[in-house]
């Protein structure tokens, strides 16, 4: 191995010197010729491969020489003795099955050791031990009961059923209010419903007094706009028609669109307020316009 290392040490400098000697000649002959560089690289790679093969062969020869001088003994395993069926069956029966292990049962051959003294009608009682899995389950239930007691009744970390019910009802109330707030703004002229509840009418009246009295009067009697208290309607007197008229307006007649000013919920409220004005007949009401609707 030392000789091989020495040979490698001599070979590599020789290859580098050869490459250095060839480089100037190649450069002087032709600066663009790279064939000589490729040959040098191939020569170096071949030398390294040859060196690796030499190392492998050397190790192989060393291993063979050691084996020839000191052969390694080959251990011969004795063939296993073939069991008779009766012996195999007895060995198999002596091993408890999975079911017996889970239940902690003793083999039939050992029942005489756990048989109690008293018997009845020829039937003896066995003192089988409690299965290990059952005992672990029993201990785990005791631990769980202690943890439950500390969590819910001592430290009050967890919520009892009545407390959970109250918390869930409060969460449901918040979720309902959130949903209704969003659903109120999903109303359009097709889904709006007539609702003459006091709170809706009052909210609609406030919106009407803020935005609509200039054209329709403080009681809906009509000034520039039509009378909203009689049975005559230009664009329809149903809740859907009133909602649509307020939402999109009638630009050619001076009625502006309130779609960008009021929310759908507010348009629904003011529409229901206008519906509630029907038949109030305020003094100084404007003459009827449009078609009569029942």
Interval 186-221: pLDDT, tens: 888 998 999 999 999 999 999 999 999 999 999 999
Q: Tell me what pLDDT residue 54 has.
A: 92
Instruction: For the chain, give the mean pLDDT.
Output: 82
| pLDDT per position as a tens digit, 69-117 | 888 777 777 777 777 777 776 666 656 667 666 666 666 667 777 788 8
Integer Cα distance of 114 and 129 in angstroms: 9
pLDDT at 104: 66
The residues pairing with 233 across neighbouring beta strands, listed in sequence order, are: 291
Give the pLDDT band of residue 225 (cuts 50, 70, 90).
very high
Structure tokens that stand for 278 in this block: 């029907």
Query: Residue 100: its pLDDT value, please?
Result: 65
pLDDT at 15: 42
Q: What is the pLDDT of residue 97?
A: 66
More confident residue, 254 or 17: 254
pLDDT at 93: 63
In this prediction, what percent of the chain has a pLDDT beyond 90? 51
* 86/238 Cα distance (integer angstroms): 99
Whole-number pLDDT of residue 118: 79
Q: What is the pLDDT of residues 228-275, one digit of tens each?
A: 999 999 999 999 999 999 999 999 988 999 999 999 999 999 999 999
Angle between helices 198-211 and 264-276 (to 10 degrees): 100
Mean pLDDT, rounded, for 160-187: 88
Express each pLDDT in 32-71 by its tens digit.
468 888 888 898 999 999 999 999 999 998 888 888 888 8
Q: At residue 16, does pLDDT exceed 90?
A: no
CB 184 within 8 A of CB 267: no
């Amino acid at each position: 191995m030392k000789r091989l290392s020495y040979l490698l040490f001599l070979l590599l400098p020789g290859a580098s010197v050869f490459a250095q000697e060839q480089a100037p000649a190649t450069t002087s002959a032709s600066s663009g010729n790279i064939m000589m560089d490729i040959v040098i690289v191939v020569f170096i790679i071949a030398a390294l491969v040859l060196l690796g093969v030499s190392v492998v062969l050397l190790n192989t020869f060393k291993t063979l020489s050691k084996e020839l001088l000191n052969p390694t003994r080959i251990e011969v395993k004795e063939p296993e003795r073939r069991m008779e069926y009766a012996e195999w069956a007895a060995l198999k029966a002596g091993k408890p099955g999975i079911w017996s292990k889970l239940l902690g049962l003793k083999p039939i051959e050992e029942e005489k050791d756990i048989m109690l003294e008293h018997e009845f009608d020829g039937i003896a009682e066995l003192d089988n031990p409690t299965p290990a899995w059952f005992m672990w389950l029993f201990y785990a239930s005791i631990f769980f009961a202690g943890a439950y007691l500390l969590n819910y009744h001592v430290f009050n970390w967890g919520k009892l059923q009545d407390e959970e019910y109250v918390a869930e009802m409060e969460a449901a109330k918040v979720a309902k209010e959130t949903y209704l707030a969003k659903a109120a703004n999903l109303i359009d002229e097709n889904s709006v419903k007539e609702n003459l509840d006091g709170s809706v009418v009052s909210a609609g009246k406030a919106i009407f007094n803020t935005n609509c009295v200039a054209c329709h009067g403080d009681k809906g009697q009509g000034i520039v706009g039509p009378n909203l208290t009689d049975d005559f309607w230009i664009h329809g007197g149903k809740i859907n028609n009133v909602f649509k008229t307020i939402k999109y307006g009638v630009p050619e007649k001076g009625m502006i669109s309130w779609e960008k000013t009021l929310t759908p919920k507010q348009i629904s409220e003011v529409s229901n307020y206008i519906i509630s004005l029907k038949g109030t007949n305020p003094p100084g009401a404007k003459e009827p316009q449009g078609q009569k609707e029942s």
